[in-house]
């Protein structure tokens, strides 16, 4: 009869063996669709006048605060499909290709699309609330992908091991570098980046896969994602509600902003209503005393009301704020002439000439100077 050898209870138990299991991944299709849309819209903008022209950007749906305040809230979404120039398009397309394919494979096409669009809107909303400048681009949505990937890696940092933790720190470094770069470089809508990043972190936590290991009928371990729509839809609804509420609050705040009053004043001038333009433009410069455009158009409105003394004061303030603006020198010269202040008019027109105007304006400028010199008896 055979007998088993005695068990030595003092010997250490064997260390558990780490098993690597494949994650459930999806195909990346929508990323290519989004890339095609971005390129197609840019080509159409280029064909209709250029993607860097203000009027083209506004016509195609850029984030433009005065029109959003007037009710065109769809610009918070449409602006993420527009790009200002070829370099802007190429940079964002490369980032979308690199990040979008990875995030879509992990999250699936439906959750990826919700993440991309809502992060883009979140970025546009923060920019709308605190940045009066026109803006466009997919950067907010792309930062949302960065934030979502960071949430995913953080949630599974233990399961993914050292490689996952290293990728998490890489994502944090990429986000930090680009945010710092955005604050340093002028012309970058960093608020849009920040809004997209925060939205992506939240949405990534809500929509991201929640893995567990189950055994198949054959007894093989299998990784499955338990985060179905029944689990995440309440959180997603809260995010949408926050975005809608935030849009309403931002519209209420921006309705009394300098940019909106400036836009309304310009529109009143175009409509031939200088009295209404004065009222709007006075509000604009009261809210932003550093607005050279506000004082310039206020001067135009006063001029149309034949209030030359007030027009001169407005132009003088615009000139202090923007001494290199040729249109301010021109209008102030003509206003001084209306007031009989010909020496000052000549000096302003000479400054206008020094700025190198087009030939047609140059000839007219010298004609005015000769006229005013004759009035002075020179």
For the question of residue 193 being annotated catalytic, the response is yes
Contacts of 316 (CB under 8 A, 6+ apart): 332
Distance between CA 152 and CA 160 in Å, rounded?
Answer: 10
- Identify the CA nearest to 100 among candidates 135, 152, 141, 136: 141
139, 151, 257, 303: the catalytic one is: 139
What are the backbone dihedrals phi and psi of residue 19, each rounded to the nearest 5 degrees, phi first?
A: -110, 130
Q: At what angle do helices 139-155 and 190-207 cross, to 10 degrees?
A: 40
What are the backbone dihedrals phi and psi of residue 308, each rounded to the nearest 5 degrees, phi first?
A: -65, -35
152, 193, 261, 329: the catalytic one is: 193
Residue 284 in tokens: 């604009």
Question: Beta strand pairing status for 211-215 and 221-225?
Answer: antiparallel
DSSP assigned state of 8 = -
Contacts of 133 (CB under 8 A, 6+ apart): 189
Contact 209, 225 (CB under 8 A): yes
What are the backbone dihedrals phi and psi of residue 63, each rounded to the nearest 5 degrees, phi first?
A: -70, 105
For the question of residue 261 being annotated catalytic, the response is no
- Distances in Å between the Cα of 130 and the Cα atoms of 108, 134, 188, 196, 257 are 33, 12, 14, 14, 10
Residue 371: CB atoms within 10 Å: 13
Catalytic residue list: 139, 193
């Amino acid at each position: 009869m055979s007998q088993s050898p005695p068990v030595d209870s003092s010997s250490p138990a064997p260390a558990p063996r780490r098993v690597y299991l494949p994650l459930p991944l999806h195909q990346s299709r929508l990323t290519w669709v989004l890339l095609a849309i971005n390129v197609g819209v840019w080509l159409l903008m280029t064909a209709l006048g250029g993607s860097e022209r203000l009027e083209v950007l506004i016509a195609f749906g850029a984030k433009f605060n005065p029109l959003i305040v007037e009710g065109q809230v769809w610009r918070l979404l449409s602006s993420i499909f527009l790009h200002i120039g070829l370099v802007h398009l190429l940079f964002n397309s490369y980032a979308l290709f690199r990040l979008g394919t990875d995030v879509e494979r992990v999250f699936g096409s439906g959750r990826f699309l919700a993440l991309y669009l809502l992060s883009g809107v979140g970025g546009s909303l923060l920019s709308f609330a605190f940045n009066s400048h026109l803006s466009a681009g997919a950067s907010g949505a792309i930062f949302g992908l960065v934030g979502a990937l960071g949430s995913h890696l953080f949630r599974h940092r233990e399961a993914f091991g050292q490689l996952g933790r290293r990728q998490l720190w890489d994502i944090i470094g990429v986000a930090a570098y680009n945010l710092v770069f955005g604050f340093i470089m002028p012309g970058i809508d960093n608020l849009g980046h920040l809004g997209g990043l925060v939205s992506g972190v939240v949405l990534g936590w809500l929509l991201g896969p929640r893995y567990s290991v189950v055994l198949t009928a054959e007894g093989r371990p299998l990784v499955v994602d338990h985060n179905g729509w029944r689990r995440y839809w309440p959180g997603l609804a809260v995010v949408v509600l926050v975005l809608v509420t935030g849009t309403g609050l931002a519209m209420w705040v921006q309705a009394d902003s300098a940019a909106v009053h400036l836009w309304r004043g310009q529109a009143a001038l175009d409509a031939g209503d200088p009295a209404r333009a004065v009222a709007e433009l006075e509000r604009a410069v009261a809210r932003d005393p550093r607005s050279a455009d506000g004082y310039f158009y206020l001067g135009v409105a006063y001029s149309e009301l034949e209030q030359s003394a007030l027009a001169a004061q407005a132009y003088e303030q615009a000139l202090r704020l923007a001494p290199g603006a040729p249109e301010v020198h021109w209008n102030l010269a003509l206003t001084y002439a209306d007031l009989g202040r010909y020496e000052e008019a000549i000096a302003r027109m000479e400054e206008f000439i020094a700025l190198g105007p087009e030939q047609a304006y140059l000839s007219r400028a010298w004609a005015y100077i000769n006229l005013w010199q004759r009035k002075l008896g020179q």
